[in-house]
Amino acid sequence: MMNIYVKCKKNSNSGLLVGHSENFTKAIYGFSELGAKIIPYQSLDDIYDIVTKEDIVIDYIQQCDAIFAKFGYHNVHVDDYPECLKKYLGRNICYDTINSISSKKEKWSAGWFVKPVKTKVFTGKVIQSIHDLIGCGHCQEDYEVICSDALDIKREWRCFIYYDEIIDIRPYKGDYHYTYDSSVIDHIMDDFKKWDKRPMACSIDIGVTSDNKTILIECNDAYALGSYGLVDFRYAKFISARWAQIMEREDEFDFRKYGSDKC
């Protein structure tokens, strides 16, 4: 029987063991609703040797990657900009390095939106002057970055994709006066389903620009993704679907095989 290992910490006020983040707590509630066995831990070292391919580990991206690597799965991340969806970007995308950006005025003054390929190195932002690069560099690593035209994006949403269907769309940033064009999302999903190696669970983030164009912002993998308000049990099933796909095993919480799963 599978175990759900969840990174936890002691609450500073109550002393109780709680999820290490709000998302981890939601995962605890969600998997509990599904009847799963929850095992808390505080350091990945505590569980690394006992985790099996049947299990799920609720932790941050780097720690999840370590578990995947244990079983021989490397570079499992979903492409931020899948080839089949690039026509919905509404902007030019290119790859560079942070040192190249910082050393060439024509680049750091171009007004590009720059974000790191490696997650959490720094928060993506528009670079218009040398001062905007403060906090973006690293003395020991010339890391790869993604550069794109800066757009005036007024509102952003996260579409949760679960076995080729959108199970929820959650706004997470911007002006509520703007709304997306649902027909564009329909076209995005049609093309997404043509992607042979598509993930069984991921997010597709969309935005609306000041001229009311609905565009693709990026895709995100599901295995360590924020919930953004997704209902707890759906969040758990969302995570489970992607872990099962990566680990090449059956998804224990895919109830579609019983003909009754509405997620």
CATH T-level assignment (fold) for domain 152-258: D-amino Acid Aminotransferase; Chain A, domain 1 (3.30.470)
Q: How confident is the model at residue 129 (pLDDT cuts 50, 70, 90)?
A: confident
pLDDT tens digits for range 132-189:
888 787 767 788 888 888 899 999 999 999 999 999 999 999 999 999 999 999 999 9
Q: How confident is the model at residue 108 (pLDDT cuts 50, 70, 90)?
A: confident
Tell me the CATH architecture of domain 92-148: 2-Layer Sandwich (3.30)
Rounded CA-CA distance 7/93 in Å is: 35
pLDDT at 113: 84
Cβ 153 vs Cβ 90: under 8 Å: no
Q: How confident is the model at residue 101 (pLDDT cuts 50, 70, 90)?
A: confident
Where are the domains positioned within the chain?
3-70, 92-148, 152-258
Cβ 211 vs Cβ 221: under 8 Å: no
pTM over 0.85: yes
Average pLDDT, whole number, for the chain?
92
Cβ 227 vs Cβ 211: under 8 Å: no
**Residues 65-76, buried b or exposed e (16+ Cβ, 10 A)?**
bebbeeeeeeeb
Identity (one letter) of the amino acid at 246?
I
